[in-house]
Amino acid sequence: MSKFTAHPADDIAIATIRALAADVVGKANSGHPGAPMGMAPVAHVLFTRFFNANPKNSKWFNRDRFVLSNGHACALQYILLHLLGYKLSMDDLKQFRQIDSLTPGHPEAGHTDGIEVTTGPLGQGFANGVGLAIAQAHLGATFNKDGFDLINNYTYVFTGDGCLMEGVASEAASLAGHLQLGNLIAIYDDNHISIDGDTAVAFTEDVEKRFQAYGWQTLHVDNGDSDLEAIYNAIVEARKEKNKPTLIRLRTTIGFGSKQQGTHGVHGSPLKPDDIQALKSKFGLPAEQSFYVPKETYDAYHEVAARGAKLEAAWNDLLASYAQKYPTEHAELTRRIAGKLPDGWEKSLPVYKPSDAAQASRKLSELVLTAIVPKLPELIGGSADLTGSNLTRTKTMIDFQPESTGLGSYKGTYIRFGVREHGMGAIANGLHAYGGIIPFVATFLNFVSYAAGAVRLSALSGHQVLWIATHDSIGLGEDGPTHQPIETAAHFRAMPNLDFWRPADGNETSAAYYSALTRKHTPSILSLSRQNLPNLEGSTIERALKGGYVVYEVEGEDLTFVSTGSEVSIVLEAAQKLKAEGIKARVVSLPCWSIFDLQPAEYKLSVLRSGAPILAVEALSTVGWQKYSHEAYGLTGWGASGPYKKVYEKFGLTGPNIAEVGKKVVDFYKKKGGEVVSPLVRAIESIGGNHL
């Protein structure tokens, strides 16, 4: 690129951003003005000199991606979006942090035009950026041709001290270095301030040397407050490096221009009115005027927007030419950009009958992947160093690796995440945010808890991420309580907009995949067994897709069992033992609570009906089952180490014992007397609302 050239509006535009940051936070009387004021110069240089995007079409596919990992600084991002002409008005800025506004307290993807990913929990955005960069590298390698550099955008990440203290960022940075992601540029706001004060109290490492050890290029700018040329030159150098991600350490003064600049007092509190007035006077802006934007500032940013519109128009022309020369690839690329699955892909899902051999649901998952991966090239993912246990790499997959390693290529669809569960989950969110990709990730169910922060942001943001979570109960056996999930399902079932599937057999496993792949704005966790599970009488993909169904029906029942996963076959055995004693028991399989909850009330009440007590049985914590059952039998403490059948016996999770428990429930409710009403019949259906 050419050398830095000053623009007449540079100084006034940066002053405008700083003053607006003070006004936005001041009017709300809530927020973080310091980082936006400190990072105004780098934001201005990045967006006016380098950033390729079209504010009139925030979803242009080859746009550069911007991530504000230090999401508390979102006043900066909202101001930039407004100046550039995204769908964010001055009135929206004035509604910062107010109910139902487009400017919430931290950036939310899908809520505010121009926001790529939801950030705020520190380090998550940094890892999302790695996912965005992987997505570009993969799709570029897959679809670009000589003369058709269709997918070549950069991902820029603003990050702060807090982000770089978080482990999730370290995990992602380590993998990004290994993967040689030269399309990723992170700009580190090194302002030496966190909430507790100077970072000297807790964060004194040499960040540049750490990132060099990860395999990153590191650059630094000593005066990020005003040296625009140095900022410009650092970004130019970062863009030249094609085989390493780059970290630019930018030394800034938090709250630059205010009376509290350089202190933690300006980090998370509004400036006082007299300070805001003095700030504006210092920068040559009207002291008494709030939310003031000079014409020169608007003009400078409208020039950027016009450039972006021209870039998209040229790209659209290139895409049209690509369609003429490569019609097959064009059809595939545009299908994936549109998020449309190939016609008839679901016909490849395995279907089972009761006479088919019993298999672990993790093996059933592998069979699904083997069948659908050739049909769904957008499925990209991997495991956290548990490939042989999760059974997630099919024979047709190639590893996603730099070709220089000899281990694969960027065209590959299988990612070796290493032992980095949290980073893996956050990277997957970035993969989905990019578009054209449906990410899957895998580990033991217990270790999805390591990644809970990323899973939560998947659900909040509507990222369609598939978690393949094997070894899902005490049924994993010998590894013992450290690896046996007890509370994990309860946690994730309680999470809004998350489908937690625990299939009992082959058809339910196929149904779980169908649901996960068609629920475009909901992440799914597939909770899968290590031990073999028999294929059930009465199970079908169609029935399982209702989230719950009657797997064994009787009329005039004394008891209904409801269960999931590996325990469904146990309660079926118990029902047969009770039948031999003249006690009638129905059996319901409830593989996915959230999907069942979406069904019509009439259907739900036909499955979990009134008239007899309902007993839930699961080799997990019983928390949450009160919504669907009168009684619940499960684990109230930790598991145990030993052969899995012995562990099940220890905790009474056997057909004979569950039959005895069932008899106690029947006897109790008969003695109690009165009508037994389904737990689904309630005065209050729900509290609160759906965020999405």
Q: Catalytic: 116?
A: no
Q: Enumerate the H helices of 396-451 as residue ranges.
A: 421-434, 445-448
Max CA distance (Å), the chain: 91
Residue 437 in tokens: 């990709």
Q: Which of 370, 258, 311, 226 is nearest to 25 (CA)?
A: 258
Distance (Å, rounded) from C-alpha 486 to C-alpha 78? 42
- The H or E element spanning position 536 is none
How many other C-beta atoms are found inside a 10 Å radius of the C-beta of residue 50?
A: 17
How many other C-beta atoms are found inside a 10 Å radius of the C-beta of residue 504?
A: 28
Distance (Å, rounded) from C-alpha 96 to C-alpha 93? 5
Distance (Å, rounded) from C-alpha 459 to C-alpha 463? 6
In angstroms, the Cα distances linking 546 to 218, 293, 471, 539 are 52, 54, 25, 11
Assign 3-class secondary structure to 467-514. EEEECCCHHHHHHCCCCCCCCHHHHHHCCCCCEEECCCCHHHHHHHHH
Give the count of alpha carbons within 13 A of 553, CB side only: 9
330-366: buried (b, 16+ CB within 10 Å) or exposed (e) per residue?
A: bebbebbeeeebeeebbebbbebeeeeeebbbbbbbb
Distance (Å, rounded) from C-alpha 43 to C-alpha 205? 26
Q: Decide: helix, strand or coil at residue 690.
A: coil
- Chain position carrying tokens 């059933």: 364
Distance (Å, rounded) from C-alpha 355 to C-alpha 536? 9
Distance (Å, rounded) from C-alpha 534 to C-alpha 526? 18
Pick the catalytic residue from 116, 366, 421, 557.
421
List CB contacts of 201: < 8 A, sequence separation 6 or more: none
Q: Which of 310, 330, 314, 312 is nearest to 322 (CA)?
A: 330
Question: Could you list the active site residues?
Answer: 421
